[in-house]
Amino acid sequence: MSKITFLGAGSTVFAKNVLGDVMMTPSLQEFELALFDIDSARLKDSENMLNNLSKTSGSRCRVVAYSDRKEALRGAKYVVNAIQVGGYEPSTVIDFEVPKKYGLRQTIADTLGIGGIFRNLRTIPVMLDFARDIREVCPDAWFLNYTNPMAVLTNVMNTHGGVKTVGLCHSVQVCVSHLFKDLGLDDTGVQSKIAGINHMAWLLEVKKDGVDLYPEIKRRAAERQKEKHHDMVRYELMNRFGHYVTESSEHNAEYHPYFIKRNYPELIERFNIPLDEYPRRCVNQIEGWAKMRDSMVNNESLTHERSHEYASYIFDAMETNTPFKIGGNVMNTGGLIANLPREACVEVPCLVDASGVTPTYVGNLPPQLAALNRTNINTQLLTIEAAITGKKEHIYHAALLDPHTAAELSIDDIVSLCDDLIEAHGNWLPAFK
């Protein structure tokens, strides 16, 4: 029996989406669904949920929970990664509260910025442990990474882990549909092209029947900006730089130096920026899970409809050799995006079939978009340098080059903040020289 291994299977709702999709896919019926999580209670919850779902769906997939990670991986053909190292408490709380002492505010802090840097630093060692196990017990497996920070972790697994890895993010999948819904447009039959880096990929083309829809999009967006709404940052970026960006306004507010500024507090109100948004979401999710747990975990009548998550479609394409197009995070090998660094991880259209994941060539991004991407890539690559070398100076470099952090703090304060975060995270971080 072939095996799909899910690391971080205690993420029960996400496991239901991904592995429930597998159960709905005819070509994947003979697979073992191997579950692993360091939280044994959450692992048991997901096992119960999936066993109930298997019965109601009539799936022939076999659900097996493992207490040994290497055994969960042994012989796997596909590996899905959905871990979060350090969780909400203590790590996410630290990532937000320590920078606040310096006057540095954040919204999500899971991709870039000072929070993204430190989430990377505590996650990369765990990912490299995964890579060592994979090279030993399932060296030919495809690794599907859903964990943020997406670009850095996918880069590390490919470059330093020696594992065939593609990073998958929801923002590409929903970019056009959400934009059109917000502007009251019909996206039926719309053709689009998206490329860039994760959470900062660009809607390069958007057409219907050969007609460029950007003029109408921009006209409607300008009208929307006259009143407060949830996507004001992205519409402002589109107005100034010419293209819509894939990830949400709350994310992009902290990827740029223009929006969250102590000396211009009115910008927070003007662009409707939700500071401390991610901690609020965490609290709400924790409370929500407590209310819904029993109805999902112990529901013997639980059902599932196949979602739009890429994973099962990727597995199916590889198993049946039926081509499927995704927006994937891959290395910029051969200069897929010619005006971005080749050592960067980029987000581009990819073709999936029995031969694996084949990225497509994009060429040059518009120069202003490539320039914005490079400001984020600088911090990403230096964060990797810090994690691989163990040198504290590269943590400083990564933070000093982060657009939002550098716009708000002095050199001395940035270095001091990094030191405080290293101390606060304690054993969650490796030792830095």
1 pLDDT band, cuts 50/70/90, is: confident
Strand 200-208, strand 211-212: pairing? antiparallel
* Average of per-residue pLDDT values in the chain: 97
Distance CA 14, CA 410 (A): 40
Smallest CA-to-CA distance from 285 within 117, 51, 89, 48 is with 89
| Confidence band of 431 (pLDDT split at 50, 70, 90) | confident
Of 134, 9, 131, the closest CA to residue 63 belongs to: 9
Give me the percent of the chain exceeding a pLDDT of 90. Answer: 99
pLDDT at 159 over 90: yes
Q: Are 94 and 401 in contact (CB under 8 A)?
A: no
Section 245-261 average pLDDT: 98
Give pLDDT, residue 338: 98
- Determine contact, residues 395/386, Cβ cutoff 8 Å: yes
Active site residue 304: no
Please check the confidence at residue 165 and state whether its pLDDT lies above 80. yes
For residue 258, CA distances in Å to 137, 171, 228, 240, 358 come to 47, 22, 18, 12, 36
Which residue shows structure tokens 């490299």?
128
The tens digit of pLDDT for each residue in 79-103 reads 999 999 999 999 999 999 999 999 9
Instruction: Give the CA radius of gyration of the chain.
Output: 21
H runs (alpha helix) in 24-102: 40-57, 69-73, 93-100
Residues 336-347 have a mean pLDDT of 98
Tell me which of 170, 230, 397, 404 is the catalytic residue.
Answer: 170
Q: What is the pLDDT of residues 296-314, one digit of tens each?
A: 999 999 999 999 999 999 9
β-bridge mates for residue 6, sequence order: 35, 80
- Residues shown for the chain: 433
pTM value surpassing 0.85? yes
Residue 433 has pLDDT above 90, yes or no: no
CATH number of 88-108+168-275+309-433: 3.90.1820.10
Kindly report, as residue ranges, where domains of CATH 3.90.1820.10 are found in the chain: 88-108+168-275+309-433
Percent with pLDDT over 70 in the chain:
100
pLDDT in tens, 197-238: 999 999 999 999 999 999 999 999 999 999 999 999 999 999
- pLDDT at position 116 over 80: yes
On whether 256 is known to bind a ligand per the annotation, the reply is no
Using CA atoms of 259, 261, 266, 272 in order, give the dihedral in degrees to the nearest 10: 40
* Model confidence band, residue 107 (pLDDT cutoffs 50, 70, 90): very high
Average pLDDT over residues 264-272: 97
Residue 148 is labelled as binding a ligand: yes
CATH 3.40.50.720 in the chain, residues? 3-87+109-167
Residue 287, pLDDT > 90, answer yes
Residue whose pair of structure tokens reads 């959470």 in the numeric block: 199
The CATH-assigned architecture of domain 3-87+109-167 is 3-Layer(aba) Sandwich (3.40)
Q: In this predicted structure, what is the pLDDT of residue 90? A: 95
CA 372, CA 175: separation in Å to the nearest integer? Answer: 19
Other residues' Cβ atoms within 10 Å of the Cβ of residue 320: 15
Over residues 32-79, the pLDDT tens digits come to 999 999 999 999 999 999 999 999 999 999 999 999 999 999 999 999
